[in-house]
Every structure is written in structure tokens, then in C-alpha cells.
Amino acid sequence: MFDLTELEKKFKHLNALEKKLGYSFKNIKNLIHAMTHPSFHKSDFEMLEFIGDRVLNLAIANKLWNKKYKSEKEYAEKLATQVNRFSLLKIANIWELDKYILWSGSDIKSILVDACEAVIGAIFIDGGWEKANDLIHSSWPDETMCFEELDPKSVLQQWGHKTAASYKYKTIEKVGPAHKPQFTIQLTVNQYIVTTTSTSKRTAEKQAALEFLKKYTDLIPDQIK
């Protein structure tokens, strides 16, 4: 906990953030805590982040329920494309949280991801489920470009769909004994070609997708493993 008067001068413009969020806080301390990262000062940031994560996942799961997916796996996969570090960072940038958050260090992307969840948690604590759910539904429209973290092939697939780019994986060579083959995969995306080799076809395709994303797009390859 901290004394509000100690930091309130640093938050003169939080009303601008409230306008972006479409929500006016009953207790502005909740938003101040969400905008004070523990690297800068002790606060309730991490608790709000924890709550915000749960509220966000429930809200998106509820939103997707009416889509009538064929299986739990398909349902879970779709949820993962909507709620991940990529989508959280995108929403944090839309809300321009970097203009308001107090932090110390160099990993601002990671902090903004956490801050996005902290803001959701703060609204839930301040205004309840309905207000938090309204914010999430207005900020996570179906067309939002979200990516499945840790899956470069899915990132490439969604990027290709959004940009109308054509792409194709092709096995151009398979060598070695049956118990330990080596696959060489060629990925062609429009006029660009990437070639990778691995002990499994799937891994080689994943590596090829990652190589392409690193070289030719402005996505966030450092967050894809």
C-alpha cells in the first residue's frame, strides 16, 4: 500500500485514460494502483493483474460460447488466439498505457501486457463484472488481430489471412535413416522463400514460419518461442 498524496501529482491526467477506457472510477485509487508497477513503487498492481487475468478469460470465453465450436479443444484454441501476450500488448497500445504507467526498468512490453490486465482488474473491483465485461467486449472485437503465442505457424496463418498473402510449405528433401530422418522444408510467401532443416517435418515448418516472421514482418518475434 502507499499514500495517495505521495503520487497523485504524477497522475494529473488520468481522466484522459478514463475517457479512453469509457469508464469513470468511483475510487481513483484503484486506477492509480493499476498504473503503478511494483518496479517503481509498492502497490496492489500484481493483485489487480491477477484478478484482471481471470475476468478477461471468463469474459472472452463467455463471448465465444455462442460460436458453437465442435469440441473443447477448438474452443480452447480460439480462446488462446484472443487472450495472449500479443492481444494484450495491442490493447495496451490502443489505450496508450505507456503514457500513464509508472515503472522502472527496460522491459516495457512485458509491463504493458501486465498493466492491461491490471486495468481490467481495477475496473472489476471498482465497478463490478458488468463494467469490466463491457470494456472487454468493446476492446476485443472479433476482427482484432490476435496471435497464438508460441506458435509461429498460427501467427503466419492469421497474418496471411489479414494481408491476403499466399504461402506454401513444401518438403524439398528427406535424408537419413528411417529412425532419424532430416526434413528440409521450403516456405514460400508471395515472392519470399525461407528454407529450414530439422528432424521432424512439423518442427522444420515451425522454424521456417519463425524465420519468415523475423525477417519480413513487424510482428513480435522475440515473444514467439
- pLDDT tens digits along 152-182: 887 788 777 777 888 999 999 999 998 889 9
CB 147 within 8 A of CB 84: yes
Kindly indicate whether the domain formed by 152-223 is annotated with CATH number 3.30.160.20. yes
74 is catalytic: no
pLDDT higher than 50, residue 221: no
Q: Which residue has the higher pLDDT, 163 or 10?
A: 163
Task: Give me the chain's average pLDDT, please.
Answer: 83
Q: Residues spanned by CATH 1.10.1520.10 within the chain?
A: 4-139
How would you classify the pairing of strands 167-175 and 192-198?
Answer: unpaired
List the catalytic residue out of 44, 49, 117, 148: 117
Q: Please provide the CATH number assigned to the domain covering 4-139.
A: 1.10.1520.10
More confident residue, 183 or 108: 183
pLDDT beyond 80 at 16: yes
Q: Quick one: pLDDT at residue 91?
A: 92
pLDDT band (50, 70, 90) for residue 47:
very high
Residues of the chain with CATH 3.30.160.20: 152-223
Band the pLDDT of 5: cuts 50, 70, 90.
low
Residues 104/40, Cβ–Cβ less than 8 Å: yes
Nearest to 85 by CA among 108, 105, 112: 112
- The whole-angstrom separation of Cα 195 and Cα 188 is 9
Question: What global pTM score does this model have?
Answer: 0.64
How is residue 111 written as a grid cell?
A: 509491463
| 38 pLDDT above the threshold of 60 | yes
Whole-number Cα distances in Å, 71 to 12, 79, 143, 154: 49, 12, 22, 19
Q: Computed from CA positions of residues 194, 198, 203, 207, in that sequence, does the dihedral angle turn out positive or negative?
A: negative
Given the residues 44, 49, 53, 149, select the one marked as catalytic.
53
The pLDDT assigned to 147 comes to 45
Q: What are phi and psi of 147, to 5 degrees?
A: -125, 145
Higher pLDDT, 46 or 2: 46
